[in-house]
Chains A and B, each alone.
Chain A
Amino acid sequence: MTKDMQDESEIFRGTTTGSTRLRDARSVRGTPKAGMPAFVLGEELADLADSDPRIVVATADLASANRTNDFRDRHPVRFVNFSIAEKNMITAAAGMASTGLVPYVATFASFAAILGAEAIRTDCAYPRMKVRVIGSHSGMSMGFYGSSHHALEDLGMLRCMADLTVVCATDANHLRAILRASVDHPEAMYIRLGRGRDPEVYPSVPQITFGKAARLREGSDLTIITCGSQVRASLDAAELLAGEGISVRVVDMFTISEMDRDEIKAAAEETGAILTVEEHNITGGLGSAVTEVLIDLPRCKFRKHGVPDKYVEVGPPAALYAHYRLNADGVAEVAREFLSV
C-alpha cells in the first residue's frame, strides 16, 4: 500500500465545529468544509428551508459529522438533535410528517438504515409519510472503524419495502439535485450518501427525475451500471478501457427503487453486456435488482461486482477500495476479465 493511499483514506474527522483553535495545524481534528465536497447537506437544506416552512431537520448526535449543523445555525427552531436514539428519531419524524412537515433525518447509514429499518418500514413507508432518511458514510467508507459502522446491506434491506424511494447521491451537486427534487416527492425516501469527500462527477447541479437513470458516457461493447461512490471509479475505468479499444457505456442508476427498467433494457440490447458495480454486499443490492429486470429480457452477458458476502477486512477506505477492486483500476480489471470470458 502506498503512502498516498493511507493519507487519502483519512475520514470522519469532521467532528469539530470549526471554532477549535490549535497551535499546530497538524493537530486539527476537524476537516474544513471545503475538504468535504459532498457534505453540502445542511447548507442545501437550509437554503430550501428559507422558502419552505415545512422543512425540518434532525440528527442523532452527528450534526458536525454530517454537517446538519449548517442547518441548525440558520434554522434552530426547525432543528432537533435526538442524540443517540435513531429509532426514536425516525419514528418521531414520521409523527411530524403526519402534520404536513417534511422532515430530513440524518445519521450514519449503518444506523439510519440498518438499525432504523423497521421504523422506516412501519412508520414512514407504510403510512406514506414524507420522511427523508439520510444515511451518510455508507458502504465501507468508514474504513477501519469496522463492520459495525459499515452499511453494505442497506440497499438490499430497503429496496424491498413498498412505497419507499431509495436513491444514492453521487457527489455534492447530485445531492443538491436529489434534495431539491425530494421536497415534494410523495413517498418516504432513503437517501444514501458516501463519506463526504466523494470526487466530482457532476460539474453543476443536474436535472434529475427519480426512477430515471443518467447515462454519463456512451459506449458499445459494455455497459457499467453503477451508483454512488462507484460512478467516478467506473467513469475512470471506462477511460482506461477506452485506451485499450474497449468502448464502455456508464450509467448512474441512482434510483435503486423503483429502478429504470428501460435503461437496463437499452443496455442489454445495445451493448450486449452489463457489469454492475456497487459499494454494497454483492447479494441483494444494485446488481441483484438489475438481474430482476434482466430475467424478463433476452439473454445478455451479465456480471455483478461488489463487496463479497463477508465482513470486510480492517483498513483505510482507499486501501479497502483497492483490495476489493472498487477503484478505477479494480473496476477496469474486473471488466477486462468479464469481457474475456
Chain B
Amino acid sequence: MTPERNNVSLSVLEEKAKFIRTETVRLSRIAGAGHYSSTFSCAELLATLYYDQMRLEPGQPDWPERDRFVMSKGHAAIGLYPVLADLGFFDPSELDTYTRLGSNYGDHPDMKKVKGIDFSSGSLGHGLSIGVGLALAARMTQRDYRTYVMLGDGELSEGQIWEAANSAGHFGLQNLVAIVDRNGLSIDGHTEDIMTVEPMEDRFGAFGWNVQRIDGHDINAVREAFARLPSGRDGRPQVIIADTVKGRGVAHMEMSLDWHVGNLVGEDYDAVMVELEAGLKPYEPESMA
C-alpha cells in the first residue's frame, strides 16, 4: 500500500506552521536556548512538506519507499521534532526531555536516536551531498521515492554544496529537490554583506538545476511549487528558492541578528506565545526593531 500525498486545507497548514513556531518557543525554554529565527523562517515550508507533500508511513519509519527529508540546516531540528511527534513517529511527551542529559533530542538531529530523521545533520554544507547519495540509491535500486533537502542560505558558502550541486546536475537527479530557506541572514549579518550568495537562480541554473523562486511564507505558493515538480528519476535536479524572513512571526525577531540563538523567559515568553497564537500578520520591514 502506498500512502498518497495529502491534500490538506490551507487553514490546517497555517495551524501547523503556527504549531511549529509555538513548539520551538516551548522547547527552547526547556533548553534555555534555541534557534528561534531560523526555524520560524521555514515553518510554512516544513508544514507543507510534512503534512501535504511527503509520502510517509509514521508507523514504519524505515519504510524503503518513503520520501526522504534531510534537514541540512540542522539547527532547525527544533521545529521538525514536534512535526514528527505530531505525525506519530514517537510520543510527543518525549519532547519534554529536549536537550536534557540523555535525551534523544538535541539541538541538531541524530538519526540513530530520533525516529523519522532520515539523516543526522548539524555540520553545514553536508546535506545536499547526502541527498545526492539518496537520489543515486533510488536510481540504483529502482525506487521512486523523492529526496528533499532543506538548505540554509548561509550554508551555500560551503564549497561542498557546490560539489553536490554539480554532481546532481551531472547525474541528472530529478528525484532530488533542494529547498533553500532564503531568509537573508547568517549569524554575523546579511548574507550579501558576509558572503554573496546571489544570484541564486543563475548559480543553480548553471549547474543544471531547474529553478523555482517563491515566497516561502505563502503556503499556496509553496504548494504550487511542489505541484510543478516533475515525477521520475531522470532529468534535472529541482531547487525551490523560498524567499523567507528570518524570525517571521514575531515582530521583534524579524530580520534581527539578535535571535539566531536566544532564550525567552517570563513575560517575554508569554507575549511571544500570544503573538504567535494570533497568526502571521503582513510582514512590514519598516517595523524592524
B119 and A82: CB pair below 8 A?
A: no
B164 and A92: CB pair below 8 A?
A: yes
B12 at interface, CB cutoff 8 A: no
For residue A118, which residues in chain B have a CB less than 8 angstroms away from its CB? 123
B binding-site residues for A, Cβ under 8 Å:
64, 70, 110-112, 118-120, 122-123, 126, 129-134, 136-138, 140-141, 143, 159-160, 163-164, 166-167, 171
B134 and A99: CB pair below 8 A?
A: yes
- Nearest-neighbour CB distance to chain B for A111, whole angstroms, equals 13
B141 and A95: CB pair below 8 A?
A: no
For residue B110, which residues in chain A have a CB less than 8 angstroms away from its CB? 126-127
For residue A98, which residues in chain B have a CB less than 8 angstroms away from its CB? 111, 118-119, 130, 133-134, 137
Counting chain A residues whose Cβ lies within 8 A of the other chain, the interface size class is: 20 to 34
A-B contact pairs, 26 of them (CB 8 A): A78-B140, A80-B136, A80-B171, A85-B163, A87-B129, A87-B160, A91-B160, A92-B129, A92-B130, A92-B132, A93-B133, A95-B119, A95-B129, A95-B132, A95-B134, A95-B137, A98-B134, A99-B138, A101-B140, A122-B122, A122-B123, A122-B126, A123-B120, A127-B110, A127-B112, A127-B120
A binding-site residues for B, Cβ under 8 Å:
56, 77-78, 80, 82-83, 85, 87-88, 91-101, 103, 118-119, 122-123, 126-128
**11 further contact pairs, Cβ within 8 A, besides A87-B163, A123-B130:** A87-B129, A88-B167, A92-B133, A92-B167, A94-B130, A95-B132, A96-B133, A96-B134, A98-B118, A98-B134, A98-B137
A119 and B126: CB pair below 8 A?
A: yes
A95 and B140: CB pair below 8 A?
A: no
Given contacts A96-B136, A127-B112, contact A91 B130 (CB under 8 A): yes
Q: Give the nearest-CB partner of B111 in chain A.
A: A127
- Nearest-neighbour CB distance to chain B for A76, whole angstroms, equals 11
The 8 A-B pairs at the shortest CB distance, nearest first, are namely A95-B133, A91-B129, A92-B133, A88-B163, A85-B163, A95-B130, A96-B133, A99-B137
- How many angstroms from the CA of A122 to the CA of B129 in the assembled complex? 13
- How many angstroms from the CA of A80 to the CA of B171 in the assembled complex? 9
- How many angstroms from the CA of A83 to the CA of B123 in the assembled complex? 23
Q: Give the nearest-CB partner of A98 in chain B.
A: B119
- Nearest-neighbour CB distance to chain B for A286, whole angstroms, equals 29
